[in-house]
Amino acid sequence: MLIFPEKTCRWLLFWWLLTPLMYAHADYPPEVKAAVEQRCMVCHGCYDAPCQLKLDAWEGLQRGASKDKVYDGTRLLNANLTRLFEDAQTTEEWRAKGFYPVLDEQDPQRATILRMLELKRDHPLPDVAILPDSFDFRLDRDQQCSKPEEFDSFARDYPLWGMPYGFPGLEDAEHALLAEWLAQGAPGVPWAAPGAAEQAEINRWETFFNRPGIKQKLVSRYIYEHLFIGDLYFADLAGPARYYTLVRSRTPPGQPVDIIATRRPYDSPGSGEFYYRLQALRTSVLDKRHMPYALSDARMARWNELFFQQDYQVSRLPGYRVEVATNPFVAFRELPVQSRYQFMLDEAQFTIMAYIKGPVCRGQVALNVIDDHFWVIFTDPNVLDPDQNAEFLASQSAHMRLPGGSTNLLGSLVQWRDYAKGQRKFLKAKSAELAKLASTDVTPLDFELIWDGDGSNPNAALTVFRHNDSASVVQGLVGQTPKTAWLIGYSLLERIHYLLVAGFDVYGNVAHQLETRLYMDFLRMEGEYNFLVFMPDDQRVQLRDFWYREASPDVKEYVLGRKAYIHAPTGIDYRSDYPMAEFFQRLTPRLPGAAAPRYQPADPQFARLQTLSGKPFSYMPEVAFVQVLEEGGGESVYTIIHNSAYLNNTQLFREEQRRIPVEDYLTVVRGFIGSYPNIFFQLRAQQLGEFVAAIETLGSEQDYAGLLQRYGVRRTDPRFWQLSDSLHQQYRDIAPVEAGLFDLNRYENR
């Protein structure tokens, strides 16, 4: 049975053959897209797709696969850029970059991807709970990227490795749907053009970004360098959101976008005229990289207020030399500091999430520099603070220089000494300014120094969860009081963005990644130092030493040491022996959304897990989704997050040697947190008490295996895809704008 009527098939084939240069304007047919999203994209999306086979867009299927890895922390030279829709535009160009086909134009029945599906159908998973060691699920595994001419030997050597790899095969109807479509040559369909209202919004915003005048050009450059990774949508339009990316184009509004593809957003766009354009997002929405950002009437009014209703002049536009472009305090020094800071604060979750998710999908090398769970608050942009003083920042701009990403390994180590020296000078100057302000009572070290979200903005308090090499950022102070917290001001927030978002290159060499990791140490310590000034002065060093157990004395000097110290006492009168917990208990009512009601578990049986710590929790996976089947027929969903404890986070390696399992604890929330679930649990509501008790008493891997046997849905379980589909639908129901496809590459085999 054909998927499409014969007439439709002829039209699709005609479209496919007629437009070889228009892959960016094609999509999967709707019936096929649903199956590809739920069964294929959950493993094959973004840079971390096995064999770079990115199936999150129809063009990715046409491009094919590559044996080269994007994630490689050992390469000495920068890798070739292989960004879909940017670094090549035709199949021929991708072949020249080393990508080989997974389709077969001459004989579609011989398409490698179709043969991989058939291999799974002919050789289903063995009837076992845990797959044997012959299945390799490590993220850094040697990938078997079979070229068409290699498939027969691959099938002989790995008969159980058909697609979906390491999961149950497709249902008969799903297999027939995809097989028939692939046998027809995998034709695409045209992308739907935007409606009149949506096109009017596109025109309005492109007009805004490209208004004449050097002030507008500088503002647009600043906005672009901060939002280039966002999924922009028009919040004032009714209906499901359609997403756009802000790009630089050689062509003006009204003409097709001709994207200027540079390695970093602050690289030179060339000598010719260019324009800021909104380009439709051509990929499906994947949670691991989805960062929605609303464009609306209110947003435009806000940006006009921040950047065009202020009394300042722009004398000239900055160039794109490395020493200028990589230093926002130099490039944008003529934009008001308070406006720049407020721009980022208005969507602080997005700003921090960009560092956590970034344009690279998988968490970056710098993620092991942070704790598994910590809270983030911000300084008020309206108070006197050296971090927001234009003259102070200008005087310190050379000391806040960021890595440019162009050195070799030896050069990185030499450069690091210069960065360390600059950071010491900056912190010393900042400490002196803070002490001066605190001594005059102009800026007391109390709650008034903290941004209150202007009374209504829920971005005032954030929670960060690290899950090994991925992480999540949510609004509110979620979970029990963490070990550490950060207070972020303008200069720190800006440096985080330019180091880890605008300046991070996933294709970069080991030197670039090492520089990024080492420099991020400084930024983490600065955020923690900022927070510690609110603590009682006789407990600051004690807290610092607990955070940095067994760290070198030189490291501690950056946090309340010779390189960063403040003698001024806090302005908060503490009433308990637990100042950090008391601080946040008293701060929470002051910050909108800090209580995070969205994530509070409705079932009190989870409450006890929120207050305990201990080795039993070390057996839990990093992220578990729990579906509870209610007695009335409904379903509730929760996320259990495992927060691992460490002596310190100051070393690039030997992380396991710094683990302290007896201090591990869990965070349980209603809904979803995390893009990479490690396990699904499914249980009836009346089993919830027993489920929680079993977690509390875990004492071995055997105990955890028993928990899985009773409540878990392993990757070999016949119910797996049905539950995966159900959880995806619940996510879309709970958060239609935020929701994206989960990634299953980290689903455990225990």
The tens digit of pLDDT for each residue in 207-260 reads: 999 999 999 999 999 999 999 999 999 999 999 999 999 999 999 999 999 999
> Mean pLDDT across the stretch 62-85?
86
pLDDT at residue number 7? 42
pLDDT of residue 101: 97
Residue 122: pLDDT above 80? yes
- Residue 12: is its pLDDT beyond 60? no
- Say if CB 716 and CB 131 are below 8 A apart: yes
pTM here?
0.93
Is 571's pLDDT higher than 70? yes
| Those residues with Cβ within 8 angstroms of residue 217's Cβ, 6 or more apart along the chain or in another chain | 317
Mind listing the pLDDT tens digit for each residue in 158-176?
999 999 999 999 999 999 9
What is the mean predicted confidence (pLDDT) over 491-508? 89
pLDDT at 407 exceeding the cut of 60: no
> What backbone torsions phi and psi does residue 623 show, to the nearest 5 degrees?
-135, 120
What is the structure's pLDDT at 13? 46
Whether the pLDDT of residue 311 is over 60: the answer is yes
- The CA distance from 531 to 526, in Å, is 9
So what's the pLDDT on residue 237? Answer: 97
Whether residue 405 is predicted with pLDDT greater than 80 in this model: the reply is no
Measure Cα distances from 30 to 19, 76, 84 in Å.
19, 43, 21
Mean pLDDT across the chain: 90
Indicate the range of 9-18, 136-145, 302-311, 694-703 predicted with least confidence. 9-18
How sure is the predictor about 365, in pLDDT bands with cuts at 50, 70 and 90? low
CB 656 within 8 A of CB 469: no
Q: What is the pLDDT, as a whole number, of residue 578?
A: 95
551 Cβ neighbours under 8 A, 6+ residues apart: 647, 648, 650
pLDDT-based confidence at residue 20 (cuts at 50, 70, 90)? very low
**Residues contacting residue 640 through CB under 8 Å, at least 6 positions apart:** 609, 620, 623, 624, 626, 666, 667, 668, 695
The pLDDT of 54-73, averaged and rounded, is: 91
Question: What confidence category does residue 717 fall into, taking pLDDT thresholds of 50, 70 and 90?
Answer: very high
List the alpha helices (DSSP H) in 463-605: 490-497, 510-532, 540-547, 553-556, 579-587
Beta carbons within 10 angstroms of residue 70's beta carbon: 19
What fold, for 600-734?
Nonspecific Lipid-transfer Protein; Chain A (3.30.1050)
CATH 3.30.1050 residue window(s) in the chain:
600-734
Band of pLDDT at residue 505, cut at 50, 70 and 90: confident
- Res 18: pLDDT: 43
pLDDT mean over 411-435: 74
Average of per-residue pLDDT across 24-47? 92
pLDDT value of residue 206 = 98
Residue 4 has what pLDDT?
47
Q: What integer pLDDT is reported at residue 105 of this predicted model?
A: 92
Task: Using the predicted structure, report yes or no on whether residue 520 has a pLDDT greater than 80.
Answer: yes
pLDDT tens digits, 544-564: 999 999 999 888 888 888 777
Residue 626's pLDDT band, with cuts at 50, 70 and 90, is: very high
Confidence band of 509 (pLDDT split at 50, 70, 90):
confident
Side-chain-side CA neighbours of residue 509 (13 Å): 14
- Residue 684: how many CA atoms within 13 Å on its side-chain side? 5
Instruction: Report residue 416's pLDDT band, with 50, 70 and 90 as the boundaries.
Output: low
Whether 441 shows a pLDDT value over 60: the answer reads: yes
Give the model's pLDDT for residue 414.
60
The pLDDT of residue 3: 46
pLDDT of residue 607: 87
Q: What percent of the chain has pLDDT over 70?
A: 93
CA-CA distance, 289 to 587, in Å (whole number)? 31
- For range 486-501, the mean pLDDT: 93
Q: Rounded CA gap, 356 and 373, in Å?
A: 13
Average pLDDT over residues 264-288: 96
User: What is the mean predicted confidence (pLDDT) over 632-652?
Assistant: 92
> What contacts 223, CB < 8 A, 6 or more positions away?
209, 246, 303, 343
| Residues near 405 by beta carbon (within 8 Å), at least 6 away in sequence | 264, 503, 505, 508, 512, 515
Average pLDDT over residues 641-667: 91
Structure tokens at 286: 């994947």
pLDDT for 1 beyond 80: no
499 against 61, higher pLDDT: 61
Mean pLDDT value across residues 648-654? 81
Terminal Cα-to-Cα distance of the chain (whole angstroms): 40
**What is the reported pLDDT for 415?**
66
